[in-house]
Amino acid sequence: MLTRNPESDNDRHMRERARAVAQAGGIDEALAKGALPKLVDTTLSEALVLGLMKQGVRKYFAIFGHGSTDLGNVLRIYEEEGATRTVNCRNEVEMAHAATALRWQYGELSAVVTSIGPGALQAFAGSLAAASNSVGVYHIYGDETTFGEGYNMQQVPKEEQGLFGRLTAVLGQSYVLHTPAGLRDALRRGALCVNHPYRAGPFYLLLPLNTQPAQVTINLAALPARPELPKLAPADDASLDAAAAMIAKAGKVAIKAGGGTRGHDTAIRRLAEAAGAAVVLSPGSTGVLPDAHPQNMHVGGSKGSISGNYAMAEAELLLVIGSRGVCQADCSGIGYKKAEAVININGDLGDALHYNKTVALVGDIGIVADRLAAKLEAAAAKKNKSAWLSACAAEKAEWAEFKRKRFALPPLQDAAWGKPVLAQPAAIKIVCDFAKQIGATKLFDAGDVQANGFQIVEDERTGETYTETGASYMGFAVSALVGAALAEKPKYAIAFTGDGSFMMNPQVLIDAVEHGVRGMIVIFDNRRMAAISGLQLAQYNREFRTNDSVAVDYVQLASSVSGVLSVCGEGGADNLRTALKTAHSHDGLSVVHVPVYAGPEELAGLGAWGQWNVGNWCADVQDAWIKQDL
C-alpha cells in the first residue's frame, strides 16, 4: 500500500543540501558561499549523487528496482529541488543507448541507473555501444549485499563475491562500492574512464543493496572533478619529418579517416589537401570531409564503395588517422593491397601500431595533423599526386553514376508485399535528402539500413550522421532519440531503422512521448532481417530463418501510443516525400512506415566492394592476410 509519511530527518537534510547546490549552481559554488559544509555525513547513495555532480553529471536515465530504491529516493529529492533530472525508461538496453547518444551527439555526460541482475545485465549489454564507439557513460547497477546473509534474488547464483564487478570490468572499468568511503577513489577512476580523450567508455559503479543506505563521511572539496587534460603530441619533429618525407615521395597516398577524426574536420581537410591524398572514410566518419570535396572518395571497407575501395587498394602509402582497423573499415585487414608503408596518427599506442611498417604519430589528431600539414605545405608535397587524384576522381564519378541509377529505380514488385514497393537505397536517399532539407540529424540502425545508409549519406560536416557502426546494435538508432529527452538543446533527429531493428526497442514510442522528444522514426520494412539474408545468400546460396510470416501493421501499432503520429509512406517516391512532410509537421514523435523491396534485383542494392573475414570467405581472406606484409 502506498502511504505518505512525514519526511524523515535524513530526507530533510538531504533536501536542504539539494536545495543548496541547486541554488548555488554546483557543489564548488555552494562550498564557496558557505551554503554547504566541507564534510558531510550522509548515505553512500547521496554521496554518489553529490560526487557525480562534482563532475558535472546531473542527468539520469533510470529503471528502478529493489536493487536501487535508496538511490531512487535521493534522485527524487534532488529532482524536487531542481538539482538533478531523472527520466524513467521502459527498457534498459534502450536507456543505455539513450545515454550513449546524449554523450555522443550532445557531449553531455549522464548516468544509467538500474536494479540488480536482469535490469543491470540488459543495460550492460546496451553499454557495448558506448564501449565500441568510445563514448563515456556512467552505469550504476544494484549489487548483492556485502554481509552475505544469504543469496540475494537476482544476484549471480554462485558462492563467489564480486561477480557483477568482474563481469562489467571485462567490457569497461568497474568499481564495487563495497566500502562506502571508497567512493572518492571510484569517482577518480570513473572520471578518467568516461572523460578519456581517445578511449572513453562506460564506467560501472556497482552499488550493493546494503551499502546504498550506509552512512559515510565525505569531503566535498576532495571529491574528484572532471579531469582537464592537455593535448599531447610528439615532443620533437623527427617522426613528423620522416612522415612528411614519405608522403612527399609517394605518388599515391590514401588517408583512412576513422571514427576518431570526427570533429577534426578542419585539420583533416588541411592535411588531405597538403598531402594530395585521396581520403577514404569509415562508416562512422562521413562528413569529416565534405561529400563533394574532390578528394573525398566516400566509404571504403567490406561494404565500401567503388571509389573508396579503389583508393584503398591502389594506394602505395597509407595514412591512417583515428582508426582502430575494424573489419568493416579495412576489409578485415586486407584492404590495402599495394601499400608499402603506413603513417598512423592516433592517441592510443596500440591503435597507432596496429599495422606493420608504421611510422606512429602518437597524439591528438588535430594537433598532429596540423603540424604534419604545415610541413607538407612547405615541401609542396602534393605536386606529384595529380595523376593519382584524377584516377580517383574517375572512380568517384563511376560511384556517383552507380548510385544515381539505383536512386532512380521505380518501385519493384515484391513477393512479401504482393505489390510494387521502393527499393531500400532509393527510399533511404529520399529520407536523407529530406533530413538535409530540414536540417535534421540522421541516426542509423543496424542491418542493410545502416550499410546502405553509410554508402548513401552526403554529409558536409561531422555530426550530420550518427551511425553506430562500432557494435552495430539493432535498436540503437530509435533508442538514441530518447537521448534528446535530457539534452540542453535538443535537435530534431530522424532515426532510420529496419523492421528487425525497430522491434528490438519499440519502447521508444512510449518514452519519447513521455519525455517530450521531437523526432521521427522511419521504418524501412522489408519483412525480414535482410542484411543477414543477403549474407546467407552470398555465402551459402540459401536463406535460413531470417524472416517470418507474421505481417505487422506498424502504422497501427505506432498510432496506438497516444502522442505518436503514425504515417504510411508507401506508394512510391512522391508519396514518401509527402508522408515525411506530414510526419515532420507533428510536434512530437512521428513514425513513417515504408515498405521496401527484398529480392534478387541487382539495382535494389548498393553492392559490397571489399572483403570480410566471415563465413565461408574466411579461408580466402586469411590466406591473403598471411601473405601480405602490412
Ligand X SMILES: Cc1ncc(C[n+]2csc(CCOP(=O)(O)OP(=O)(O)O)c2C)c(N)n1
The yes or no reply on residue 499 touching ligand X (CB under 6 A) is yes
**CA–CA gap between residue 96 and residue 232 (Å, rounded):** 31
Q: Which is nearer to ligand X, 110 or 469 (CB)?
A: 469
In order, the DSSP letters of 557-599 are HHHTSTT-EEEE--SSHHHHHHHHHHHHTSSSEEEEEEEB--S
Element at 497 (helix H, strand E): strand 493-498
| Residue 232 vs residues 30, 236, 267, 522: alpha-carbon distances, Å | 34, 12, 16, 42
Please provide the size of the chain in residues: 630
- Which grid coordinates belong to 376? 607538407
Identified binder of Mg ion from the candidate list 500, 534, 569, 595, rule CB under 5 A: 500
Please state the closest distance from residue 362 (CB atom) to ligand X, in A: 32
Identified binder of Mg ion from the candidate list 94, 143, 499, 570, rule CB under 5 A: 499
Classified as helix, coil or strand, 197 is coil
The yes or no reply on residue 447 touching ligand X (CB under 6 A) is yes
Please state the closest distance from residue 137 (CB atom) to Mg ion, in A: 28
Please state the closest distance from residue 325 (CB atom) to ligand X, in A: 20
Q: Which is nearer to ligand X, 172 or 500 (CB)?
A: 500
The stretch near Mg ion (CB under 5 A) out of 153-161, 165-173, 341-349, 497-505 is 497-505
Identified binder of ligand X from the candidate list 346, 501, 566, 590, rule CB under 6 A: 501
Q: Residues 114 to 133: which contact ligand X by CB under 6 A?
A: none
Identified binder of ligand X from the candidate list 172, 347, 500, 519, rule CB under 6 A: 500
The yes or no reply on residue 109 touching ligand X (CB under 6 A) is no
The yes or no reply on residue 506 touching ligand X (CB under 6 A) is no
Please state the closest distance from residue 554 (CB atom) to ligand X, in A: 12
The yes or no reply on residue 449 touching ligand X (CB under 6 A) is yes
**CA–CA gap between residue 333 and residue 302 (Å, rounded):** 10
**CA–CA gap between residue 300 and residue 420 (Å, rounded):** 32
Q: Are 480 and 105 in contact (CB under 8 A)?
A: yes
Q: Which is nearer to Mg ion, 119 or 500 (CB)?
A: 500
The yes or no reply on residue 526 touching Mg ion (CB under 5 A) is yes
Q: Are 505 and 393 in contact (CB under 8 A)?
A: no
Residue owning grid cell 572539496: 221
> Torsions phi, psi of 451, nearest 5?
-65, -45
The yes or no reply on residue 504 touching ligand X (CB under 6 A) is yes
Q: How far is CA 198 from the centre of its chain?
A: 14
The stretch near ligand X (CB under 6 A) out of 213-221, 227-235, 446-454, 602-610 is 446-454
Q: Which is nearer to ligand X, 414 or 499 (CB)?
A: 499
Q: Are 286 and 454 in contact (CB under 8 A)?
A: yes
Q: Which is nearer to ligand X, 374 or 503 (CB)?
A: 503
Q: Residues 527 to 586: which contact ligand X by CB under 6 A?
A: 528-532
Beta bridge partners of 424: none
**CA–CA gap between residue 15 and residue 566 (Å, rounded):** 42
Total residues interacting with ligand X, rule: CB under 6 A: 20
Please state the closest distance from residue 217 (CB atom) to Mg ion, in A: 55
Half-sphere exposure of 118 (CA within 13 A, CB side): 6
Q: Residues 461 to 490: which contact ligand X by CB under 6 A?
A: 472-474
The stretch near ligand X (CB under 6 A) out of 151-159, 179-187, 339-347, 498-506 is 498-506
Please state the closest distance from residue 182 (CB atom) to ligand X, in A: 34
Please state the closest distance from residue 368 (CB atom) to Mg ion, in A: 41
The yes or no reply on residue 448 touching ligand X (CB under 6 A) is yes
Please state the closest distance from residue 421 (CB atom) to Mg ion, in A: 12
Alpha-helix runs per DSSP H in 379-491? 386-407, 424-438, 448-456, 476-480
The yes or no reply on residue 464 touching Mg ion (CB under 5 A) is no
Q: Is the dihedral of CA 292, 519, 428, 320 positive or negative?
A: positive
Beta bridge partners of 498: 524
Classified as helix, coil or strand, 3 is coil
Q: Which is nearer to Mg ion, 370 or 601 (CB)?
A: 601
Classified as helix, coil or strand, 13 is helix
Q: Which is nearer to ligand X, 472 or 566 (CB)?
A: 472
Q: Which residues bind ligand X (CB under 6 A)?
A: 445-449, 472-474, 498-501, 504, 524, 526, 528-532
